[in-house]
Amino acid sequence: MFAVNTPNRKKATKQYTRRSFQSLASTVVASDITSDKVLREITKTIKQEMKTLTSIEHDTILRDNIEAVKHFSWDTVFMELNEKVPTDY
């Protein structure tokens, strides 16, 4: 656990406990330290989700043939993402 002693941490903690997530996001991005950490975590999560989504064990629209691409549907993509990558929604 860390001590909430810097002005940024105090502000972010207050915003989080009040569920003011847009303000919290602005505070996080305003700080070089936290924005770098958050960006790394988001990137790591996206990489893990894409690895899972495109793995051979999962039947995915991302590996369809050219004929399937001709009948491409964003609804299919959104349904697949919602099912297999729940953190996106």
The rounded distance, in Å, linking the Cα atoms of 75 and 15 is 35
pTM above 0.85, yes or no: no
Tokens representing residue 50 in the block: 């894409």
The rounded distance, in Å, linking the Cα atoms of 43 and 33 is 16
Q: 17-68, pLDDT tens digit by residue? A: 888 888 888 888 888 888 888 888 888 988 887 787 777 776 666 666 667 6
